[in-house]
Amino acid sequence: MTRPTTALIATAIWGPGLFVGLFMTGMSVMLFDAPGSENVVWTKLLFASVASGPALCIVSVIGSWIAWLVTRSWEPGRGSALRGAMAALPLLSVLFVVIAAVLLQVNCAGSFSCKP
């Protein structure tokens, strides 16, 4: 039987991260303050990336515990990839925020409305 180390770490990190993500999502609606920014795909991608963070935190914490429950009776070492993938799920949001910010910078010179 394995210990729920990965699930505990995921809960300790992404539990409080949920509240940080909710605050960031609330503030990210200001991305659309610039006139015309609601029509720019890179701004929408940045918003969607930030907004997905809290949902991925919830899925990660619950999924980590479910993955541990499913794999706890398996041989040691088996199932660790599943538990690790569930615990790292919110990092996808961080990755897409970086990608969206870079694309916005490259394609629109950092302007949310994509106007020179």
Q: pLDDT (tens digit, 9 = 90+) per residue, 30-74?
A: 999 988 888 999 999 999 999 999 999 999 999 999 999 999 888
Q: pTM for the full model?
A: 0.88
DSSP string, 18-57: HHHHHHHHHHHGGGG-STTGGG-HHHHHHHHHHHHHHHHH
Does 85 map to a domain?
A: yes
Does 61 map to a domain?
A: yes
Does 114 map to a domain?
A: no
Does 48 map to a domain?
A: yes
Does 116 map to a domain?
A: no
Does 113 map to a domain?
A: no
- In degrees rounded to 5, what are phi and psi of residue 4? -85, 45
Contact 72, 53 (CB under 8 A): no
Buried residues in 80-99 as b, exposed as e (16+ CB within 10 A): eebbeebbebbeebeebbee
Does 115 map to a domain?
A: no
On average, the pLDDT of the chain sits at 92
Tell me how many domains the chain contains.
1
Domain containing 23 equals: 5-108
